[in-house]
Amino acid sequence: MFKVKRFVIWVNEIDARIPRKYGREVPKNLAVDRPSLEEILEAAQALRLNIINIDREALNPRVSALDENLRVNGRIVVESNHGKSKTLKLITQKVREFRKLHRKK
């Protein structure tokens, strides 16, 4: 039986523009360029993650030292059967998939 884990996902954790030092959690080749909170929410819903809380105004403290154009507000709290790293990779894959579909239209 899987244990359900709850954790916070910040927008900058999957942003390819952000170095790991400032909070990117996924490898650069899997990261997404300029992700939005809406894209992450859409991916989380498609993956059937339980979304506990959405905070559109929150700013990850780790990015406070970066330029304003690199800062993106937003975080969600989710429950997942996977660990945070695996969940973030699944979300980035979905965001890329959705972007590919929207680009073809």
Q: Where are the domains of the chain?
A: 5-104
Query: pLDDT for 29-47, tens place per residue?
Result: 999 999 999 999 999 999 9
Residue, of 27 and 63, whose pLDDT is higher: 27
Q: 């899987």: which residue's tokens?
A: 2
- CA neighbours within 13 Å on the CB side: how many for 68? 0
Q: Which residues contact 14 (CB under 8 A, 6 or more apart)?
A: 24, 25, 26, 31, 32, 35, 40, 88, 91, 92, 95
Query: pLDDT for 77-96, tens place per residue?
Result: 999 999 999 999 999 999 99
Q: What is the mean pLDDT of the chain?
A: 92
The CATH homologous superfamily to which domain 5-104 belongs is Signal recognition particle, SRP19-like subunit (3.30.56.30)
Work out whether strand 75-80 and strand 50-55 pair parallel, antiparallel, or are unpaired. antiparallel
pLDDT score of 67: 87
